[in-house]
Structure 1
Amino acid sequence: MWYVIHTMSGLEQKCMQQCQEYIDPSVYHELFIPQYKTKKHFKKEWHEVSKPLFPGYLFVDTDEIEPIMNGLRQFRQYTKLLKDGDIISPVKKEEQDFLALMMDKDHIVQYSEGFLIGEEVYITTGPLQKLKGCIKSVDRHRRIAKMEIPVFGRQTPVEVGLGTIARVSEEELKRMVADIIEHQKDEETIDANQIEVLSGTFQGVRGTFLYADPDKDEWTAKVPFMNTMVKVTFHREEIRMLM
C-alpha cells in the first residue's frame, strides 16, 4: 500500500535520504518521489529535466505503517504522514491505479508531445494521450500542461511536461493533411517499415513505423506534419503496414 509523507517543498530528496537512514528497509517495499519529465531552455538548447510531480511529498510502499511512523520521529526534518481526517490511511486503490496510468515503473511521468487544434489539445505521444480530459491549460512557452487529477481525496492540481509544436485551426489542419496525402500520391516507391493511417486526424497519411508495445496496444510511427516528422502513437487498428 502507498502512504504519503509530507515534507517541505524542495526538501523531498533530503527527506527521502533521512527516511532511508532512520527507517529499517525491511519494513517497506519502496520509497519514491513521483516525478515528471519536462524540457528547460538553457545554454541555447532545450534540455530534459526532472521535477517533483507533487512538491513536498514522497511516497512509501509498505504493509506496516507503525514502523514508518516510529522512524519519522527520529529525525528533525519536518514530516508528517498524510491523513484522511484523523486517520493515517493509504492512497486509495482507484487513485493508485490512476497514477499508474500517468507514471512508468520508475514513478516518472514521461514527456508528452502534441499540438493544439484551436483550443483543443491533440496528444501525439506520451502518457497524456490517455488523460487529456484532465488538462486544464497549456503553457507552450514553458512546455507544461496544467492538470487536475483525482488524488489525495480531491481534484489536485499538477504540472507535467507537454511540448506542443503548433496551434492550428481545424480548417488549416484539414488542408495540411490533404496536402500531405496529395504529395505522397506522387511518390513512386514505398520505403521499408512504412505504414498508412486508417482513421483519426492523420487518416490517409503514410509514415514510418518505429516501435510497438503490444501489451499497451501502442504502435508508434513518424508522420509528416508542419514541415517536419512527428512521432505519433496509434492503436493497432488505426494503422496498416505497407511492407
Structure 2
Amino acid sequence: MWYVIHTMSGTEQKCMQQCMQYVDESDYVEMFVPHYISKKHFKKEWHDVEKTLFPGYLFVDTDRIEAVMEGLAKVHQYTRVLKDADVVSPITKEEQEFLSNMMDEHHIVRYSEGFLIGEKVCITSGPLKHYQGCIKTVDRHRRIAKLMIPVFGGMIPVEVGFGAVKRVSQEEFHQMKQQNIRKHQTSPRGKPGQVKVLSGAFEGMTGRLLCAMPERDEWMIELELFGVATKVSCQREEIEIL
C-alpha cells in the first residue's frame, strides 16, 4: 500500500534520504519521489530534465505504517504522513493504479508527444496517450501539459512533459489523413509490417509496424504525418496487420 509523506517543497530527495536512514528497511518495500521528464533548451539543444511530480511529497510502499512512523519521528526534517480525516491511511487502490499506469518502473512520467488539432490535443506517444481526458491546458513554449488527476482524495493539478510537434487546423488534419488513405488505396496491400489504424485520431490511415510489446499492450507504428515519419503508440485493438 502506498502512503504519502508530506515534507517541505524542494527538499523531497533530502527528506527521503533521512527517512531511509531512520526507518528500518524491513518495514517497507520502497520509498520514492515521483518525477516527470520535461524538456529544457540550453546549448542550442533540447535536453531531458527530471522534475518533481508532486512538490512537497514522497511515497512509501508499506503494510507496516506504524513502524515507519516510529522511524519518521527521529527524522530532523519536517515529515507528516497524510491522513483521511483523523486516520492515517494509504491512497486508494484506484489512485495507486492510476499513478502506477502513468509512471514507469522508476516512478517517472516519461515525455509525451503529439499534435494540437485546433483546440484538441492529439497524443501520438508517451503516457499521456491514455490520459488525454485529464489534460486541461498545453504550454507549447515550455513543452508542458497541465492535468487534473485523481489523487490524495481529490482532483490535483500537476504538470508533465508534453511536446506538441505541430499545430494544425481540423481541415489541415483531415486533408493529411485523406492523402494517406488515397495513397494506400492505390498501392499494393499486404506489404511486410504494414498496418491499418482502426480507431482513434488516425483511423483509416496505413503505416508500418515498428515493434510490439504485448505485455504492455503497446504497439509502436510509424505513420507519415505532414511529411514526417512519426512514431505512434497504439493498442492492439486499434490496428489491423495487413
TM-score for the superposition, normalised by structure 1: 0.92
Q: Which amino acid aligns with 1:76?
A: H
Counterpart of 1:29 in structure 2 is 29
Match of 2:17 in 1: 17
Aligned to 1:71: 71
User: 1-side partners of 2:62 and 2:15: how far apart?
Assistant: 17
60 and 199 in structure 1: CA distance in 2 versus 1, 3 angstrom threshold = closer
Q: Distance in 2 between matches of 1:237 and 1:3?
A: 35
C-alpha distance in 1, partners of 2:77/2:176?
56
| Secondary structure in structure 1 of the residue aligned to 2:224 | strand
Q: 1:159 to 1:235 in 2, by over 3 A?
A: same
Distance in structure 1 (CA, Å) of the matches to 2:189 and 2:62: 57
**Aligned-residue RMSD, C-alpha:** 1.9
Q: Once the two structures are superposed, what CA deviation does each residue of 1:101-131 show, in whole Å capped at 9, x if it has no partner?
A: 2112221111111111111111111221211
Distance 1:200 1:81, change over 3 A: closer
Q: Distance in 1 between matches of 2:194 and 2:117?
A: 26
- How far is the alpha carbon of 1:230 from its aligned partner? 1.3
CA distance in 1, matches of 2:137, 2:121: 9
Q: How does 1:185-224 map to 2 (within 5 A)?
A: 192-224=192-224
- Kindly provide the amino acid, as one letter, of the partner of residue 209 in structure 1: L
Q: Which residue of 2 aligns with 1:96?
A: 96
Secondary structure at the residue paired with 2:165?
Answer: strand
Deviations 1:9-52 (A, max 9, x none): 11111111111111110111110111111211111111112111
CA distance in 2, matches of 1:41, 1:87: 45
Instruction: Output the CA distance in 2 between the equivalents of 1:45 and 1:168.
Output: 24
The 5-angstrom pairing of residues 1-243 of structure 1 reads 1-183=1-183, 192-242=192-242
Identity across matched positions, percent: 58
Contact 2:122–2:201 (8 Å) recurs in 1: no
Q: How far apart in 1 are the matches of 2:89 and 2:236? A: 40
Shift of 1:158: 0.5
Give me the whole-angstrom Cα distance separating, in 2, the residues matched to 1:11 and 1:5.
Answer: 12
User: SS state of the match for residue 21, structure 1?
Assistant: helix
Secondary structure of residue in 1 paired with 2:210: strand
Following the alignment from structure 1 to structure 2, what is the Cα–Cα distance between the partners of residues 73 and 217? 43
Pair 1:200–1:28, CA change in 2 (3 A): closer
* CA distance in structure 2 between the aligned counterparts of 1:239 and 1:167, rounded to whole angstroms: 25
- Structure 1 residues without counterparts, runs of 5 or longer: none
Whole-Å separation in 2 of the counterparts to 1:167 and 1:51: 26
Which digits, 9 at most, give the CA deviation of each residue in 1:148-171, with x for residues without a partner?
111111111111111111121211
TM-score after normalising by structure 2? 0.92
Secondary structure in 2 aligned to 1:237? helix
Counterparts of 1:234 and 1:9 in 2: how far apart (Å)? 36
What do the CA deviations read for 1:183-220 (whole angstroms, capped 9, x no partner)?
A: 55676798642323234332343322111122332211
